[in-house]
Amino acid sequence: MKVVLLLGDGMADEPITELGGMTPLEFAETPHMDRVAREGMTGLVSTVPDGYDAGSDVANLGLLGYDAVEFYTGRGPLEAASMGIDLGPGEVAYRCNLVTISDGLMADFSAGHISSEEGASLLSSLQAAVSGVRFHPGISYRNLLTVPGGAGGAGTPPHDIVGEPIGPFLPSGPDRDLLLACMDAAEETFSRHPVNSARVASGLPPATGIWPWSGGLRPALPPFAERFGVRGGMISAVDLLNGIARYAGLEVIRVPGATGYLDTNFEGKARHVLAALDHLDFVYCHVEAPDEAGHMGSIEEKVRAIERVDDMLGMILDGFDGVVAVMPDHATPIRVRTHTRDPVPVAVRGLGRDATTRYTEREAGNGGLGRIQATELLPILFDQARH
C-alpha cells in the first residue's frame, strides 16, 4: 500500500463573521475532504514545536518526520538546496532579501516585489564590491548569501518588522561584522545603481539594501528512504519545500505551471501525484495557494483555494486506492494574515473510521486520531499502510 499526503498550506483558520461564524474550511464546498472525514479518521496535529516560529519550514520538516528541535538549522540552508547550491562543510547560507529601508525603517521587505532580473543585476554589482561571501540571485527579492567558513548568526525575518526601526533587529551572532559590512556595501552600491534610478523614475520603491536572516549550516537529515523504508517524492512550487525534499533524499517532481500562487496548475499537480505513484511509495503534494490567500487577507480567495485543493483531492481519490491524508502545515488565519501555532486538522482515508462527518477544525477536535505531534503522523500512516 502507498501513501499520499496532500498539504494545503495555511488552510486552517478561525471562525469569520463574514462567513456567518464559520471558518473557510467549514464554509467552502469540500465534498472530497468531507468524504475522507466521513469514511476515514480525523484528528488534530501540532506542527510547531515550542520555541519555534510558526514557519512552513519547521512545520513541513516535522510532518516529513524530522523534528525541528533535532534537525532545523535555518531557512537559508533549506532554500540553498532547492536552488541547487551544494553547501560545503562549514558553509553558512543566509536568506538575503532585497529590501527598501527608508529613514531607518523597514519600509518594504520585498523592495516592491523587485523583478528577478533587477535583483540579479544589483547583486552582481554588489558581488564585485565585496569579498569573502557569495551572492546567489534567486526569484524576485528572495536571494541567498553564502559564507564559507561562516559561524552562523541570527537575523530577524524582514516581513516581521515592516514599518519598524531596523536598529534593534540588525544581525547578531558570530558572523555579525561580516554581514554588517555586506549591508553597508549594498547600501553604497545600490544608491547609485541604474536599476534603482529606473525604478524611482517609474515610481517604484528602490532596493536600498540587503537583509540577511535565518542563516545556518546544511541540516543533516537522515535519508527518508532509510527512515521509513519507502521511496518518496515531493511536488511543490515553493523553493523551501523542494529544499527540504533534496536534503531528505525525496525525488523532486516538477509540474509545469505550478506557481505557488492562486493561479497554480492544480489539476496538473494532481495528475503528477498519480503518475509518480507508479514508481514511488509516497508522495507529498504541497499547495501554497490557501496560505497566499491568508496572507492577502482575502476570504473569497481562501475559500476558492480550498475548493481547488478539494478538487485535487477528488482526482487523487479517484485514481488511487491507498492511504490519503489531507491537511495544512499550519493555520494562516484571515484575521491575523500570518501563521499561527494552533494545532491543525487532518483527515485520513485508509486507517479505519471514526464518527466525524466533515473535515473542519472543530470536528477534527473530536476525531479518532486524537491530538498528535507532526512527527508522529507519517509513522502512523506507514504502519497502517504496510498491513
- The residues that touch Zn ion, with contacts defined as CB under 5 A, are 9, 56, 291, 329
Nearer to Zn ion, 37 or 58 (CB): 58
Supply the minimum distance, in Å, between the C-beta of residue 140 and Zn ion: 18
Question: CA nearest 306: which of 250, 363, 345?
Answer: 345
Distance of closest approach, residue 241 Cβ to Zn ion, in angstroms: 9
CB 248 within 8 A of CB 64: yes
Report the greatest alpha carbon distance in the chain.
Answer: 65
CB count in 10 Å sphere of residue 191: 12
CA 154 distance to own-chain centroid: 19
Cβ proximity to Zn ion: between 175 and 329 the closer is: 329
Query: 266 or 320, CB closer to Zn ion?
Result: 266
CB of 330 to Zn ion, least distance (A): 5
Shortest CB 135 distance to Zn ion, Å = 26
Q: Which helix (H) or strand (E) holds 42?
A: strand 41-46
Query: In angstroms, what is the minimal distance from the CB of 313 to Zn ion?
Result: 18
Q: Which three cell numbers stand for residue 344?
A: 491543525
What's the CA gap between 230 and 139, in Å, rounded? Answer: 32
Of residues 30 and 332, the one with the C-beta less far from Zn ion? 332
The radius of gyration computed from the CA coordinates of the chain, to the nearest angstrom, equals: 21
Query: If you ran DSSP here, which 8-state letter would residue 277 be given?
Result: T
Distance CA 222, CA 244 (A): 12
Q: How many CB atoms lie within 10 A of CB 198?
A: 12
Q: Are 240 and 56 in contact (CB under 8 A)?
A: yes
Q: From CA 324, how far away is CA 347, in angstroms rounded?
A: 8
8-state DSSP, 105: E
Minimum CB separation from Zn ion for residue 329, in Å? 4
CB atoms < 10 A from the CB of 5, how many?
23
**Minimum distance of Zn ion from residue 237's CB (angstroms):** 13
Per-residue CA distances from 260 to 96, 116, 237, 280, 288 (Å): 20, 16, 5, 23, 5
CA distance 382 to 60: 17
Q: Taking CB positions, which residue lies at the least distance from Zn ion?
A: 56
**Shortest Cβ distance from residue 311 to Zn ion (Å)?**
20
245, 234 contact by CB (below 8 A): yes
Query: What one-letter code names the amino acid at 286?
Result: H
Minimum distance, C-beta of residue 142 to Zn ion, in the bound complex (Å): 15
In this structure, are residues 382 and 228 in contact, taking their beta carbons and an 8 Å threshold? yes
